[in-house]
Structure 1
């Protein structure tokens, strides 16, 4: 039963990661990935359960998304992306 739960959680996380990164900037993608990993580690350390790990990954991914998106917008305004990169 535990193996099936881990496989389902990994599949759901992979699907959300692939869908969530479409049309985003480089800092936003790194922010989501780093935030999800960090949130999962912290959630597991605090809660010690699968639900806490998945919840921590979700919260960390959202926070990382916002931080990365703000960095991409700031870089766009400063013309760090002259010909390519995110378009807002």
Structure 2
């Protein structure tokens, strides 16, 4: 594995760990909202071929769904 790829993987793991630690003080509904927004953003980006509008729209819809699931 080359150094660039190893660095990218380590950086991704680091930022995911920091992101999960940031949710520790949130309510369950807040955590579900953030998780839904993240999943929605990825889905929107994939479905629209990386469009910024699709990513933001997916995050908004995913956040709403996550918020409702967390109730």
Q: TM-score, normalised by structure 1?
A: 0.49
Name the Cα RMSD after superposition: 1.1
State the alpha-carbon separation in 2 of the partners of residues 34 and 27 from structure 1: 10
In the other structure, the counterpart of 1:33 is: 34
Matched with 1:63 is 65
Aligned residues: 45
- Deviations 1:16-62 (CA, angstroms, capped at 9, x unpaired): xxxxxxxxx71110111000000000000001200000000000000
The TM-score with structure 2 as length reference comes to 0.60
5+ residue gaps in structure 2?
1-25
Gaps of 5+ in 1: 1-24, 70-88
Supply the distance in 2 between the matched residues of 1:66 and 1:31 (Cα, whole angstroms).
9
Distance 1:30 1:55 in 2: 19
The reply on whether 1:53 has 2:43 as its aligned counterpart is no
